[in-house]
Amino acid sequence: MNNVKTALVTGANKGIGLATAEGLGKLGYKVWLGSRDFSRGQAAVDQLRSKGLDVHLLLINVADDSSVLEAARILKEQTAHLDILINNAGVALDLKTLPSGENMNLIRQTFETNTFGPIRVTQALLPLLKAADQARVIMLSSIVGSIGLSSDPDVIYGQVNFMGYSASKAALNMITAAFAKELGPLGIKVYAIEPGHIRTALNDHTGTLSTEEGAAVPLRYATMTLDAANGGFFGPDGILPW
């Protein structure tokens, strides 16, 4: 097998995705930087290449079936295996409206990217993941996807009520467990990751941690030897409640 380590990060032209792609590049991975937009994606690739990193643009809209299939076709022409898939692309379209008033179209769009997107991408790239030696799949989840914490009035996460967004991430956690159950016997580990309260466009840059600090968590579970249960939900301090 080709010993070049390979990785794909979706939604990587900015934020945690960009920082994660940079971190993988610094660890010696050949990285495909997934982006919906060519100009923004190429600008991000150029930025990382200027640092001497082996990074390549892959146009992919995780919410679109044909885009994902075309991206998978292109990637298969460029590599025989994929060691790491980081399903980072995500949206938060409405974090202000109460559940009774949330717009159904916005909820559908949220699920298309946050929930169905990781399914599409993982399924499409499964042959490349199976061809790698002990591949890993990272699902970028959120702590508000924890039903346990979101229903606890004594913690801060029990005070917020982001129905559409939180539900999309709670569903992603179940998807993580399902993929892990199937792929674990093949040597592929699948983790749901909460990166922390990061300053990104999703929260109008109100987070308390940098994107580099946020990228440290998916990087840890993607690349390090860990005693972590396959299919688990993990944050900066370890396992999180479902």
**Which residues participate in catalysis according to the annotation?**
165, 169
E strand or H helix that includes residue 17: helix 15-26
What is the rounded CA–CA span in Å between residue 6 and residue 33? 11
What is the rounded CA–CA span in Å between residue 235 and residue 193? 6
Closest CA to 5 of 193, 135, 121, 123: 135
E strands, 62-127, in order: 84-87
What is the rounded CA–CA span in Å between residue 105 and residue 186? 38
E strand or H helix that includes residue 85: strand 84-87
Q: What are the tokens at 234?
A: 């993990």
Distance (Å) of CA 149 to CA 65, 72, 95, 190, 202: 33, 36, 17, 22, 20
